[in-house]
Amino acid sequence: MTILEALELDTSFEAGTFDVAVVGAGHAGCEAAHAAAKLGLNTILFTLSLDSLANLPCNPSIGGTSKGQLVREIDALGGIMGIMADRCAVQMRMLNRSKGPAVYSPRAQEDRQMYSMEMRYYLENLPNLTLKQAHITELLTDEDGNVAGVMTEGKAVYRARAVVICSGTYMEARIIRGEVITESGPDGLPRSVGLSSSLNSLGVPLLRFKTGTPVRVNSNSVDFSQMTRQDGEDDIPPFSYRNEMEGKLPAPVEEQIPCWSIWTTEETRKVISDNMDRSPLYSGEIKGVGPRYCPSIEDKFMRFKDKTRHQIFVEPMGRHTNEMYLQGFSTSLPEEIQEKMVKSLPGLANAKIQRAAYAIEYDLVDPLSIKASLESKVVPGLFTAGQINGSSGYEEAAAQGIVAGINAAMKLLGKEAVIIDRSQGYIGVLIDDLVTKGTNEPYRMMTSRAEYRLFLRQDNADERLTPIGHEIGLISDDVFEKFEKKVEAIAQETERLKKTYVAPTEELGALLDTCNQTLPKSGESLADLIKRPGVTYDLLAPVDKDRKPLARNIKFACETNIKYEGYLSLEKEKIEKFKNLEKIRIPEDIDYSLIKGLRIEATQKLTKMKPENVGRASRISGVSPADCEVLLVYLEQRRRQNNG
Amino acid sequence: MYSYDDEPICACSTPAGISGIAVIRVSGNGCGKLADKCSVILRSSGDYSRLSEIPGYTCAFGYVKDPSNGEKVDEVIFTRFEAPHSYTGEEMVEISSHGSGAVKQEILKCLGMSGIRMAYPGEFSRRAFINGKMSLASAEAVMDVINSETERQLEAAGSLMSGKLAEEIRSIEQNLYDQAAMLETFTEFDTEDDEAEEAARLETVKDNLSDCHDRLTALCKGYGKGRILSERLRVALLGLPNSGKSTLLNTLTGFDRAIVTEVAGTTRDTIEVQVNINGIPVTLIDTAGIRETDDIIETIGIGKAFEAGRGADMVFYMIPPDMTADEAYSGVQAICEDCDSVTAVFSKSDAGENPDREEIEKKLGTLGISKFISISAEEDLNIDQLEDTIIDYYQELGGGASEGLLITNSRHYSKFAKATKKLSLALDALDNNLGTEVCASALRACLDEIGEVTGKTVSATLADTIFSRFCIGK
C-alpha cells in the first residue's frame, strides 16, 4: 500500500514523521533502534507489548558456543546486548574450557524479567528514540516503491525513510500443543496479523518455519538432591569489553545461582513412544520446518533410536521467581502427556508445571531476497533482522539487528553500507550464509560454520570490530583510546616474548619438567618455550625476570597468538585469498544475460541473487570457478569500455 | 574453494599427449625466484648461476631438478620475460622440455614443490586480459578458453580419477569428513557422554586420521610409479661389454635392432626400443658396457649407461660366465642405490655356468638383489622367466587387473601432497592437546586440498554430516 492510499482510508491519520521506524522490540529490534538512534537518526521503536520488550521467551540464557562470540562482537561494534547480559546475569560460565581457545565461549543465565525492564529503561532514556506500543499491519511505500512508512492496526500512519522489521516469531503465529492449536504469539502475547501479507503484496517472498520451547516448573516442587549441581564462575571476562576495561567483572560465585543437570529415564522414553501418534509433527499438523540442531525431545528419541537417554538442564529464570526452565525438553506433545513426561524425570516426580511446552509456527522472509546490508532487494529502504530472516536465537537476532540499524542509518546519511565479512566475525558468517545460501530451517550459529574460526575468538572481537564501530560513531573516542592501548600492549608483549631468551638453567628445567618437556641445550626464547605443549605464559613467570604485571586478557592474547601461530597462519593464508574476491565489486546494474561465457544455471542464479561482489558470487551454489573467471573477464571488459 | 590471487602459476601450454618438445609456462611476479629452487643453469648469455638472474628475453640451457633431492629431471631451455612485457603482463618463465608426458608431469611437480601452483583453467588468458595485454575484443575468446579448458580438465580428471584410485580417494575423503564431523561435535557441543567415553572416541578419531595420513602418504609415494602406467615401463640392460645385452635385446624385441658382434664395446650409445610384453608397454634400454675405459667415445657411452640405469624402473644386470664375484659386485653397486628392482641375469648359459654363481648370489644379496635368472638368449632359455619379472613388477605397481592405486596426474599429486602436510598438522594438534577446533582447522585445510580434486566443498558438506549422524540438543 502506498502512503497516499493509506492516508485516504477512513479514520487513518498522520501520527508522526521519523527517519527510521523499527517494528518489533526483541533482541534484533532493540539493537537496531539503539544503533540508529545513537547514529543521530530520529528513530521510533514499535512493540506489541512494552512489558515484554527484549523478552527471553525460550531459554533464559545468553551466550554459549559461538553465541557468546556473537555477543562479544555486538559489544565490540558498540551494541547493547553485552552490557545488558552482564548486568542481568544470575550465573556466568566460560564454556569449552577443555577445548581450545577459539571455542572458549562465555554463557550467562539471565534474570528474564530484569533483562526486559533494564532494556526498556535504557531505551526510554536514549536520545533520538521513541518507544511505542502498537500493532503494525502495513508497510507503506511511496509512488516509486521505496519504503515510506508504516501503519498501525488503528490506522495511525507513521512516515519513515527507512523501516527495519524484526518480527521474530510473531507474524501469523500459531501455537501448537498436541491437538490444540492457538492463534497466538509466544508466551501468551498477541501475534502480528497482516504485516506478512503486506510484505507479500510488495513482492517479498515468504517462508514458514517452526520452533518450540520446553515446560517451566516451580522450584518448590523440585527435588534437587537427585540432580547434579552446576555452579557458575567469576574468574572470567564479562561479555562487554567496556565492562572489562572498567574492571566490572562477573559477580562472585556465591552470589550466582546454580543450574542443575539430569538425564531422561527409561520411563520418559516409554511415555514418548507410546504417545507419538499424538505429536503434531508426526501427524503432519505442523507444516513449518523445524530446526535440526534444537530438536524436540520426541524428535531426539525418534531420530536417534540407539540413544536411550538424553541430558536435561534445569535452569533458573530469575532472582524473583521460582520458575525453572527445562533445557533440552522442548515438545509439542499434548499437555496431558507433558505432565507424564516431566514426572518421569529424576527429581521432578512431584513437579508443578507453571507453563506448558509448545511449538510455534511463524512467517518469515526468504533471506535470499536480502542484501548483505540486510536491506531488501525487493523494497528499497526496507531492512529486516532476526528470526524474520530465518535465523534462530537471541544472539543471532541481535547481531543482525545492530547491522540493520547501522545500515538503515548509513543509507539515510548517504554513506556506504557496513558489511562485516566472513573473516571479520561470526556476524559476517551468519549474514553471508543467510543471504547467499538461504536456509530451510531456523539457522543457528555454530562455530563450525566459520572457516576462519581460530581468528574469530571471544577474546579478540574488539580487535576485529571495534575500529569499525568507532569509525561509524557507535564507539566513543574514549573507549577507542583504551582499546588501542590494549592492542599496543599485546603487540609489545608478544614482541618481547619473541626477543627474550632464557638460559637453560635448572630452574627452567624444573618448570618444563612439570609438563614433561625437556630442557633445551641452549637458550630459547620465551615465545618458543610457550609453543611447547603444556607450557603456559604463567608457568614461565619465575624465569621471566623482566615481566611486568599485565591484565589477564593481554596475557591470554599473547599466549594464544604464539601457541597457535602455525595454525593461525594457515587460516591467515586462506583469509588473504578470500579477501581478494570480496574486494571485486559487481555493479548493481549488471545484466548477466549479456555475458556469453556464463553457463545458464550461473546466469539464472546470479540474476536472482544479485551478489555484491565476486566473492559472494563464488559461494552461490551453482556458480562454478569457471563462471567466476568468466565474470572477472567480463567485469574488466566493462571497466575498460566505461573508461574508454 | 575457488580463490583468486596473483600467486605464481604454472601449466603446460603445449597440447596433451606425447610430442617432441613441450613448453611449460610459469607466470606471476616473483616466479623466477621460486623457480630457482628447481632449476640449474648450465649455459647462458652471461655468467649467471640462477634462473632469476638471466636477463629478460634471453634463453639459458640447464635442467630442472627435484628440489627435494636435487635429482635431474630433464634438460631444458629456460626463457625469461619481465613484467609487464610478457603474455600475461607478469614476470614469466617458459621452460622448453622434452615432450614426454612423464617429463611434463615431473617438471610441474617440481615447480609445485617450489611454491608455484597449477593454474586454473584459462587463468593465463584471464590474467593477460585483466592486465591489459589483450584487446577488448578478445574478451569473449578468453571466456571461451576458460570454458573449453575447464571441460578438458574435468574430462581428464574423470578418466584419471576412475576405478580403484577414485574409490580409494573417496574413501579417504569420506573418512576424513567423518572425523571432521566428530571433531566438530566435540567442539560445538557439550557431549552427553562421560569423559572416559569421550577420550576413547577422540582416540578413534586420532587412529582414523593417522590411517588416512598413511594412505595419503602411500598415494603420494606411488606418484613416481604411477606415471609409468600412463607412460611406459623403462627396463635397462646393464653389464660389461660383450656380456650379452644386445643379444638379449634382440631376443626380447624379436628382430636385430642392436648390432650384435663379438667385439666388446660395439654399443656406444644407448639404444631404446619400445616393445609390448604381455600387453605392457615397455621401453628396453640397451646400454654401453660398464667398465673403466680410456676410449673417449666409449666414456660418453658409459656415462649414459649409468644415467639410463638410474632413470630406469627395472634393471637387468648381465653376468657372463667368466665374471668373478668381485667384478659383479662392483659393477652393480652404484646402480642398486637408485633402482629398487635389479635382476641379476646369468647370461650365455649355453656357454657354460658361471663357476662363482653361489658366491655372486651371496654378494649381490647384500645389495638387496634377490632375483637371479640364468638365461641363454641364443637358445631362448628362460627368457619367459625374465618376461615374468617384468609382468610381476608391473602388476605389483598396480598396473594389472585394474588394481591401479596410482596417481598419474601432477595436479592431483600436488594437492594430495599438500593435503598430507596439513593432515600431519592436524594430528600434531591432537597429540599436543591444542584443542579439537585447532585440529579441525588443519583438517579442513586438508579437505580443501582434496576437494580441489574431488570437487567437494567443506562448508557445504560438513553441517549435513554433523546433523545426520549426531543427536544434538540445545
C-alpha cell at B215: 594412505
Q: CB distance B129–A633 less than 8 Å? A: yes
* Separation of first and last alpha carbons in chain A: 44
| Cβ under 8 Å to A: B residues 407-436 | 422, 425, 429, 431-436
For chain B, the helix, strand and coil percentages under 3-state DSSP, each to the nearest 5: 50, 15, 35
**Smallest CA–CA separation between A358 and chain B, in Å?**
16
Q: A134 and A277 in one domain?
A: no
Instruction: Count Cα neighbours of A575 within 13 Å in the Cβ-side half-sphere.
Output: 19
Asked if B73 contacts B114 with a C-beta cutoff of 8 angstroms, the reply is no
B136 touches chain A (CB under 8 A): yes
**Smallest CA–CA separation between B196 and chain A, in Å?**
14
* Cβ-Cβ contacts under 8 Å, B3 against chain A: 577-578, 580-581
Q: A551 and A500 in one domain?
A: yes
SS3 (DSSP) at B171: helix
For residues B7 and B21, give the distance between their C-alpha atoms in angstroms, rounded to a whole number.
26
| Region for A358 from its dihedrals, namely left if φ exceeds 0, alpha if ψ lies in -120 to 50, beta otherwise | beta
Q: Which residue is it, cell 660418453?
A: B300
For residues B90 and B80, give the distance between their C-alpha atoms in angstroms, rounded to a whole number.
11
Q: Residue A537 sits in a domain of what CATH number?
A: 1.10.10.1800
For residues A153 and A135, give the distance between their C-alpha atoms in angstroms, rounded to a whole number.
6
Sequence length of chain A is 644
Whether residue A169 is predicted with pLDDT greater than 90 in this model: the reply is yes
Which ranges of A95-240 would DSSP assign to H, the alpha helix? 112-124, 195-201
**Smallest CA–CA separation between B454 and chain A, in Å?**
14
Q: CB distance B434–A571 less than 8 Å? A: no
Q: A466 and A382 in one domain?
A: yes
**Smallest CA–CA separation between B27 and chain A, in Å?**
17
CA angle, B273 then B278 then B281, to 5°: 40
Of A96, A614, A626, the CB nearest to B121: A626
* Cβ-Cβ contacts under 8 Å, B436 against chain A: 99-100
C-alpha cell at B7: 600467486
Alpha carbon A585 to its chain centroid, in Å, reads 27
What domains appear along chain B, each with residue ranges and CATH number? 9-119 (3.30.1360.120), 163-222+408-469 (1.20.120.430), 228-397 (3.40.50.300)
Residue A577 placed within a domain: no
With bands split at pLDDT 50, 70 and 90, how would you rate the model's confidence at A8?
very high
A594: closest chain B residue by CA: B140
Cβ partners under 8 Å of residue A564, min gap 6: A100, A101, A102, A454, B434, B438
SS3 (DSSP) at B315: strand
Whether residue B386 is predicted with pLDDT greater than 50 in this model: the reply is yes
Residue A379 placed within a domain: yes
Task: Render A73-129 in DSSP notation, one character per residue.
Answer: HHHHHT-SHHHHHHHTEEEEEEETTTS-GGG-EEEEEE-HHHHHHHHHHHHHTSTTE
For residues A35 and A81, give the distance between their C-alpha atoms in angstroms, rounded to a whole number.
12
Section B214-226 average pLDDT: 78
**Smallest CA–CA separation between B298 and chain A, in Å?**
54
Which of A107-121, A275-289, A498-512, A600-614 shows the highest mean pLDDT? A107-121
Whether residue A292 is predicted with pLDDT greater than 80 in this model: the reply is no
| Region for B365 from its dihedrals, namely left if φ exceeds 0, alpha if ψ lies in -120 to 50, beta otherwise | alpha
Task: Render B60-96 in DSSP notation, one character per residue.
Answer: EEEEEE-TTT--EEEEEEEEEE-TTSSSSSS-EEEEE
C-alpha cell at A80: 547493547
* Cβ-Cβ contacts under 8 Å, B433 against chain A: 533-534
> What pLDDT was estimated at residue B474?
39
> What pLDDT was estimated at residue A31?
98
For residues A150 and A140, give the distance between their C-alpha atoms in angstroms, rounded to a whole number.
5
> What pLDDT was estimated at residue A50?
97
Peptide bond between residue B84 and the one before it cis (omega within 30 degrees of 0): yes
> What pLDDT was estimated at residue A492?
95
| Cβ under 8 Å to A: B residues 162-191 | 184, 186-190
Q: Residue A302 sits in a domain of what CATH number?
A: 2.40.30.260
Whether residue A482 is predicted with pLDDT greater than 50 in this model: the reply is yes
Mean pLDDT of chain A: 93
Alpha carbon B8 to its chain centroid, in Å, reads 21
Residue B220: phi and psi, rounded to 5, are -65, -40
Of B120, B442, B473, the CB nearest to A567: B442
With bands split at pLDDT 50, 70 and 90, how would you rate the model's confidence at A125?
very high
Domain end position, chosen among A449, A472, A495: A472
**Listed range (A399-403, A462-466, B369-373) with the worst mean pLDDT:** B369-373
Section B104-118 average pLDDT: 88
Mean pLDDT of chain B: 79
> What pLDDT was estimated at residue B290?
55
For residues A536 and A150, give the distance between their C-alpha atoms in angstroms, rounded to a whole number.
57
With bands split at pLDDT 50, 70 and 90, how would you rate the model's confidence at B129?
confident
Whether residue A207 is predicted with pLDDT greater than 70 in this model: the reply is yes
Asked if B268 contacts B305 with a C-beta cutoff of 8 angstroms, the reply is no
Which of A88-102, B218-232, B386-400 shows the highest mean pLDDT? A88-102
Q: CB distance A636–B467 less than 8 Å? A: no
Residue B78: phi and psi, rounded to 5, are -100, 140
Of A328, A454, A570, the CB nearest to B474: A328
C-alpha cell at A382: 526496507
Provide the whole-model pTM.
0.80
Which of A288-297, B26-35, B192-201, B452-461 shows the highest mean pLDDT? B26-35
B150: closest chain A residue by CA: A626
> What pLDDT was estimated at residue B463?
60
Asked if A511 contacts A544 with a C-beta cutoff of 8 angstroms, the reply is no
Section B34-46 average pLDDT: 93
Cα separations (Å) of B459 from A611, B184, B445, B452?
A: 19, 12, 11, 14
Residue A578 placed within a domain: no
Q: A388 and A251 in one domain?
A: no
Of A413, A390, A378, A416, the C-alpha closest to A139 is A378
Alpha carbon A205 to its chain centroid, in Å, reads 23
C-alpha cell at B106: 615431473
Section A89-106 average pLDDT: 91
* Cβ-Cβ contacts under 8 Å, A101 against chain B: 435
Task: Render B262-276 in DSSP notation, one character per residue.
Answer: SSTT---S-EEEEEE
> What pLDDT was estimated at residue A469?
98
SS3 (DSSP) at A492: helix
Q: A333 and A223 in one domain?
A: yes
* Residue A2 per-residue DSSP state: B
Section A185-199 average pLDDT: 95
* Separation of first and last alpha carbons in chain B: 31
* Cβ-Cβ contacts under 8 Å, A396 against chain B: none
Which ranges of B231-382 would DSSP assign to H, the alpha helix? 245-253, 296-311, 325-338, 357-365
Q: A205 and A232 in one domain?
A: no
> What pLDDT was estimated at residue A318?
96
With bands split at pLDDT 50, 70 and 90, how would you rate the model's confidence at A287?
low
* Cβ-Cβ contacts under 8 Å, A300 against chain B: 471, 473
Q: Residue A601 sits in a domain of what CATH number?
A: 1.10.150.570
Section B351-380 average pLDDT: 84
With bands split at pLDDT 50, 70 and 90, how would you rate the model's confidence at B257?
very low
pLDDT tens, residue by residue, A608-635? 889 999 999 988 888 887 888 889 888 8
Q: A624 and A561 in one domain?
A: no
> What pLDDT was estimated at residue B299?
52
C-alpha cell at A220: 518448590
Count of domains in chain A?
4
Q: A488 and A457 in one domain?
A: no
Residue A579 placed within a domain: no
Whether residue B333 is predicted with pLDDT greater than 50 in this model: the reply is yes
C-alpha cell at B305: 649407461
Q: A170 and A23 in one domain?
A: yes
Asked if B346 contacts B354 with a C-beta cutoff of 8 angstroms, the reply is yes
**Listed range (A550-564, B138-152, B313-327) with the worst mean pLDDT:** B138-152
Q: Which residue is it, cell 566473492?
A: A615
Q: What are A262's strand-pairing partners?
A: A312
Section B12-27 average pLDDT: 81
Cβ neighbours of B35 (radius 10 Å) = 26
SS3 (DSSP) at A144: coil
Q: A317 and A193 in one domain?
A: no
CA angle, B187 then B192 then B193, to 5°: 100
Section B233-237 average pLDDT: 84
Of A49, A166, A70, the C-alpha closest to A116 is A49
Q: Which residue is it, cell 600436488?
A: B414
Cβ partners under 8 Å of residue A291, min gap 6: A211, A392, A441, A442, A444
Whether residue B302 is predicted with pLDDT greater than 80 in this model: the reply is no
For residues A575 and A573, give the distance between their C-alpha atoms in angstroms, rounded to a whole number.
5
Section B333-346 average pLDDT: 81
Q: CB distance B123–A327 less than 8 Å? A: no
Q: CB distance A100–B436 less than 8 Å? A: yes
Of A582, A611, A239, the C-alpha closest to A424 is A582
Whether residue B140 is predicted with pLDDT greater than 60 in this model: the reply is yes
Residue A323 placed within a domain: yes
For residues A159 and A154, give the distance between their C-alpha atoms in angstroms, rounded to a whole number.
15
Of A294, A447, A566, the CB nearest to B188: A447
Residue A330 placed within a domain: yes
For residues B69 and B413, give the distance between their C-alpha atoms in angstroms, rounded to a whole number.
17
**Smallest CA–CA separation between A633 and chain B, in Å?**
6
> What pLDDT was estimated at residue B169?
86
> What pLDDT was estimated at residue B18?
61
Residue A576 placed within a domain: no
**Smallest CA–CA separation between A447 and chain B, in Å?**
7
Range of the domain at A447: 3-211+362-472
ipTM, two decimals, is: 0.82
In a mutagenesis test of the A interface, which of B184, B423, B434, B469 is the best target, namely the one with the most A β-carbons within 10 Å? B434
Q: CB distance B188–A100 less than 8 Å? A: no
B224 versus A244: the higher-pLDDT residue is A244
Asked if A460 contacts A310 with a C-beta cutoff of 8 angstroms, the reply is no
Domain end position, chosen among A472, A488, A505: A472
Asked if A204 contacts A195 with a C-beta cutoff of 8 angstroms, the reply is no
Whether residue A500 is predicted with pLDDT greater than 90 in this model: the reply is yes
In a mutagenesis test of the A interface, which of B7, B88, B127, B143 is the best target, namely the one with the most A β-carbons within 10 Å? B143
* Cβ-Cβ contacts under 8 Å, B419 against chain A: none
| Region for A477 from its dihedrals, namely left if φ exceeds 0, alpha if ψ lies in -120 to 50, beta otherwise | alpha
Of B411, B345, B414, the C-alpha closest to B383 is B345
* Cβ-Cβ contacts under 8 Å, A451 against chain B: 444, 458-459
For residues A156 and A7, give the distance between their C-alpha atoms in angstroms, rounded to a whole number.
9
> What pLDDT was estimated at residue A627?
87
> What pLDDT was estimated at residue B454?
78
**Smallest CA–CA separation between A60 and chain B, in Å?**
13
Q: A355 and A261 in one domain?
A: yes
**Listed range (A9-13, A115-119, A451-455, B331-335) with the worst mean pLDDT:** B331-335
**Listed range (A45-54, A71-80, B344-353, B416-425) with the worst mean pLDDT:** B344-353
Whether residue B300 is predicted with pLDDT greater than 80 in this model: the reply is no
* Residue B59 per-residue DSSP state: E
Q: A60 and A169 in one domain?
A: yes
Domain end position, chosen among A451, A472, A493: A472
